[in-house]
Amino acid sequence: MKRLILTRHAKSSWDDPLTPDHDRPLNERGKAAAADLGIWLSSRGYVPDEVLCSDALRTRKTWSGIAPALPGTPILHLKPALYHAGAEVMLAVLRHATADTVMMIGHNPGIADFARRLVAREPNNPEFARYPTGATLVCDFSIDIWDDAAFGQATTVDFIIPSEIVA
């Protein structure tokens, strides 16, 4: 069995209109949401062994906000291909994962489409289709290696958005 934790980056800042999209940081709400997500993941035992993260600043900062709450030190792989990737590219990147529990941090609109196409049944949450910032899906695959991952075969374990986390 393999587990995927699929997270959209936390809320980013638009304060400086001259900042290139790739270099946008998290705003204060995003920093707090990333920390809350880390606590939520840890409290439920959703702990990745490997992290596949877009190389954009906001995804890297989302991970650095989540990480302190988690036990251990997962292997972090910055993946330029995940920057604004579509579902097919995200699946291709996932198929190269090696750990049993993998976290992937990416961007919309691709991550919403990827999440929707992965699961056999969508979670009962009206925010799933929108996949707002910080949205996190936890899903399981009945496979031995990630190379066998395919659309429509994941079982939804959990789904949350930061505003639903009760501190």
What CA–CA distance (Å, rounded) separates 99 from 38?
A: 19
Contact assessment for residue 95 and residue 146, using Cβ atoms and an 8 Å cutoff:
yes
Quote the pTM value. 0.96
Query: What pairing do the DSSP bridges indicate for beta strands 50-53 and 2-8?
Result: unpaired
Averaged over 95-110, what is the pLDDT? 97
From the CA atom positions of the chain, what is the Rg in Å? 14
Which neighbouring-strand residues pair with 127? none
Q: What is the pLDDT of residue 141?
A: 98
Which has the minimum average pLDDT: 11-20, 108-117, 122-131? 11-20
Per-residue model confidence as pLDDT tens digits over 28-79: 999 999 999 999 999 999 999 999 999 999 999 999 999 999 998 899 999 9
Please check the confidence at residue 139 and state whether its pLDDT lies above 70. Answer: yes
Higher per-residue confidence, 89 vs 18: 89
Mean pLDDT rounded to a whole number for the chain:
96
The residues near 124 (Cβ < 8 Å, ≥ 6 apart) are none
